[in-house]
């Protein structure tokens, strides 16, 4: 049996109706997992779940709508996931927001608060909700999708960068506190990936030229290239990786 096998694993993935989250859900399902498709809109979740189920050939993806901005909905998401799948072996915090591009001097306080709430607080809440059961079972994997924005400054994405750096520290703290309970917590730091979320960046000719100029592979990434790392971290292949941030950027941050 492959060490990348996810058979009998139950995985909750936020922001999984499209983009990176959808790819993680799809690839996890192909590797044997049962997955929860979650985003704000139920119809989008249902559509993605159906696509995955059709491709896999069995019912392995289940839609549950929830907004990461609402703590009550996060509680309901975890409870409904456990009712549907019995347990949560792997939590993937992928959903995030970035409502502002520009100087930090001009960023409205409400937009700053929204980034911090959705990109940091919601992830910590979800982790706290799933950890007790993981600790009791002495097994669990938490994956937070961070960004190379966590390790690079930006003149136009300051708050987003701050939030993604905080996500890196969340997994370090969890790994440090609960590693002895066989809990693994890691983050993935994608570079520029061809998703709707990052469209404002890769559709901007000047930004794209700058990114490609600093990227040895001379292209931006695809969602499945992030999903592969998530599958590794969710499976036995990632059992001894803990508290780490895996950069997946085609080499952008090395040049």
Per residue, the 3-state secondary structure of the chain, as one string, reads: CCCCCCCCCEEEEECCCCHHHHHHHHHHHHCCCEEEEECCCHHHHHHHHHHHHHHHCCCCEEECCCCCCCHHHHHHHHHHHHHHHCCCCEEEECCCCCCCCECHHHCCHHHHHHHHHHHHHHHHHHHHHHHHHHHHHCCEEEEEECCHHHCCCCCCEHHHHHHHHHHHHHHHHHHHHHHHHCEEEEEEEECCECCCCCHHHHCCHHHHHHHHHCCCCCCCECHHHHHHHHHHHHCHHHCCCCCCEEEECCCHHHC
Question: What is the token pair recorded at 20?
Answer: 């990176």
CA 214, chain centre distance (Å): 24
Question: Which of these, 162, 152, 228, 230, lies nearest to 191 by C-alpha position?
Answer: 152
Query: Which residue is listed with tokens 């592979």?
Result: 217
Q: Which residues is 38 bridged to in the sheet?
A: 14
Residues designated as active site: 160
Question: What is the token pair recorded at 6?
Answer: 């996810």
């Amino acid at each position: 049996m492959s060490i990348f096998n996810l058979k009998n694993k139950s995985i909750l993935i936020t922001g999984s109706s499209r983009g990176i989250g959808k790819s993680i859900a799809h690839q996890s399902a192909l590797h044997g997992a049962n997955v929860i498709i979650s985003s704000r809109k139920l119809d989008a979740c249902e559509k993605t779940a159906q696509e995955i189920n059709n491709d896999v050939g069995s019912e392995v993806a289940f839609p549950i709508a929830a907004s990461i901005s609402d703590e009550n909905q996060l509680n309901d998401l975890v409870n409904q996931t456990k009712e549907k799948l019995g347990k949560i072996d792997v939590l993937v915090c992928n959903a995030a927001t970035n409502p502002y591009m520009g100087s930090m001097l001009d960023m409205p306080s409400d937009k700053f608060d929204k980034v911090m709430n959705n990109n940091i607080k919601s992830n910590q809440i979800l982790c706290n909700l799933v950890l007790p059961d993981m600790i009791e079972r002495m097994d669990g994997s938490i994956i937070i999708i961070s960004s190379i924005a966590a390790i690079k400054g930006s003149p136009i994405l300051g708050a987003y960068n701050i939030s993604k750096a905080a996500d890196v520290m969340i997994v370090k703290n969890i790994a440090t506190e609960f590693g002895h309970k066989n809990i693994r917590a890691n983050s993935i730091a994608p570079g520029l990936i061809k998703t709707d979320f990052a469209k404002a960046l890769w559709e901007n000719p000047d930004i794209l030229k700058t990114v490609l100029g600093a990227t040895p592979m001379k292209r931006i990434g695809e969602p499945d290239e992030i999903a592969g790392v998530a599958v590794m971290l969710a499976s036995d292949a990632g059992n001894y990786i803990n508290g780490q941030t895996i950069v997946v950027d085609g080499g952008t941050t090395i040049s």
